[in-house]
Amino acid sequence: MNDRMNTIFGWVLACLIVGWGLSAISSRVFHADDPESPEEPGYVIEAAEEGEADAGPSFATLLASGSAEAGEAIFQKCTACHSIAQGGSNGIGPNLWGVLGKPIGQHAAGFAYSSDLSGHGGVWDYENINDWLKSPRAFASGTKMSFAGLSSAEDRANVALYLRANGGGPPLPEPEAEEPAEGAEQVDGAGEGPGPADGAEADEMEAVGAMGAEQPTTGEQRSVD
């Protein structure tokens, strides 16, 4: 029995010695105790800058080019919870007739809004409806609405137009004037000063050129009575 125990302890001790030796070797060879970053990483993950996802036409421009008809098709996703008919009843969500321009979280009488939405403040203008449709929980974290949102700005603009077609709303914002792209060719004559005016006195070079022009003969001249 003692011989067996001695054998076991001997093997355990040997394993510990081997393990310690391998650890020491890896520490010296591979710098396991002091890892260093590689000079050139294998790949770089670049984080998207804030606002980069929203690059593209402004919401005002999308409203100007969108259509309520397209918004009606997208709104079908909402009909499981919302009605939009005038005088329609509330469902899981409030009736949305005439919601644009109304106070946020207060437009449908008798509906139990979340405190985060009813206490948000402001009105349902186009900026707020765009933010709400993009991500309801980002707009009001305690909202009862489980809809994840519409990632497409075009879809959000079309739904906003559909809401406006059902009960009205504020005037559509004016699209911003688009600046010409960098490096775009300028239209011929754009930015140039006015040309020579009729009857203006000719400069010296024009006068010299006129002297060399063919002059009318006596027979071609008109007589003055």
Q: Of 162, 172, 93, 81, which Cα lies nearest the Cα of 126?
A: 172
Per-residue confidence (pLDDT) for residue 44, from 0 to 100: 39
DSSP 151-193: --HHHHHHHHHHHHHTT--SPPPPPPPPPPPTTPPPPTTTTPP
pLDDT at 106 over 90: yes
pLDDT at 14 over 80: no
Per-residue confidence (pLDDT) for residue 186, from 0 to 100: 54
| Phi, psi for residue 17 in degrees, rounded to 5 | -65, -45
Q: Tell me whether residue 64 is exposed, middle or buried, using C-beta atoms within 10 angstroms of its C-beta: 0 to 12, 13 to 18, 19 or more.
A: middle
Q: CB neighbours (10 Å) of residue 77?
A: 13
Mean pLDDT confidence for 95-107: 96
Tell me the average pLDDT of the chain: 76
Mean pLDDT confidence for 110-121: 94
- Give the separation between CA 19 and CA 13, rounded to whole angstroms: 10
Q: Of 180, 131, 148, 154, which Cα lies nearest the Cα of 74?
A: 154
Domains of the chain: 57-165 (1.10.760.10)
Per-residue confidence (pLDDT) for residue 17, from 0 to 100: 78
Q: Is 111 or 191 the better-scoring residue by pLDDT? A: 111
Lowest-pLDDT choice from 15-24, 44-53, 117-126, 146-155: 44-53
The tens digit of pLDDT for each residue in 163-192 reads 999 999 999 999 987 665 566 555 555 555
The tens digit of pLDDT for each residue in 31-90 reads 555 555 445 444 333 333 444 445 789 999 999 999 999 999 999 999 999 999 999 999
Q: Is 108 or 13 the better-scoring residue by pLDDT? A: 108
pLDDT band at 1, cuts 50/70/90?
low
pLDDT at 96 over 90: yes
The tens digit of pLDDT for each residue in 141-171 reads 999 998 999 999 999 999 999 999 999 999 9
pLDDT at 126 over 90: yes
- Give the separation between CA 81 and CA 77, rounded to whole angstroms: 9
pLDDT band at 11, cuts 50/70/90?
confident
